[in-house]
Amino acid sequence: MPIPHRNVIKTQLVDLLSSKGPMKVKDVYTEFVSLWQLTNKEMAMKRHGRALFENEIRWARQELAGEGIIEKPDIAGRSIWKLKESSVIFAEEYDEGNFNNLTEGAAKKIVVNAYERNKEARKKCLAFYGYQCVVCNFDFEKTYGSVGKNCIHVHHLVEISSIGKKYIVDPIKDMVPVCPNCHFIIHQRKPAFSIDEVRAMLKSDKD
């Protein structure tokens, strides 16, 4: 099959590293050869002395590193590719299982949903919707002043489990700004509550 578009490769690479964790470069190539069902002829195609398919994967990795999704080589090492990690627990990652056997002060690294951490996607989403929660209209800056400027979560509307290999996130259709409280409630059910369902909860409580 032909080598996919760069954005598709980026999505596939994030999916691969999310499921398998840190990987050696050669193992990443092997996975993509199998995923794309490349023929010997396609694998032999070269550009600037390197296999064409390897070049495309490396460019995808470079763009993801620039977007803050994959660790840069000087941190992860040139032979290891891994998703960037965060010590912050976001609302979509709260799960009762996360707190079993945890002692006070215990450190825990949690990989944040890569779609919601994509800097460009978040930037485009907030440029369109602004920084007010679409559920309850909470505005951090209006409530806390300048310290709350640009503080908001971004919620990914598409269920991660339903995303196919060729999924490309649309920052306007697939993402919306929500406050941490509403984000927490949204993820209290699987599949997650819709924006309208959580809005209805607020309305019924006021009634």
Instruction: Please say whether the beta carbons of 112 and 94 come within 8 A.
Output: no
CA angle 165, 172, 115 (to 5 degrees): 40
Q: Tens of pLDDT along 157-187?
A: 876 555 554 456 788 888 899 998 998 898 8
**DSSP line for 17-60:** HHHH-SEEHHHHHHHHHHHHT--HHHHH-EETTEEHHHHHHHHH
Answer yes or no: is 119 within a domain.
yes
Answer yes or no: is 40 within a domain.
yes
- Assessment of whether the complete model's pTM goes beyond 0.75: no
Distance CA 35, CA 2 (A): 11
CA angle 90, 120, 84 (to 5 degrees): 50
Answer yes or no: is 168 within a domain.
yes
Answer yes or no: is 103 within a domain.
no
* Overall number of domains in the chain: 2
28 has pLDDT over 90 = yes
CA distances from 89 to 93, 144, 190 (A): 6, 22, 18
Q: Tens of pLDDT along 29-60?
A: 999 999 899 899 988 998 878 899 999 999 99
Query: Do 77 and 127 reside in the same domain of the chain?
Result: no
Please tell me the predicted confidence (pLDDT) of residue 147.
Answer: 85
3-class DSSP string for 3-16: CCCHHHHHHHHHHH
Rg (CA), the chain: 20
Answer yes or no: is 64 within a domain.
yes
Please tell me the predicted confidence (pLDDT) of residue 134.
Answer: 96
Looking at residue 103, what DSSP letter applies? P
Domain hosting residue 175, numbered range: 113-206
Closest to 170 in 3D by CA, of 118, 97, 107? 118
Query: Do 124 and 172 reside in the same domain of the chain?
Result: yes
Dihedral sign, CA of 106, 72, 169, 28?
Answer: negative
Answer yes or no: is 87 within a domain.
no
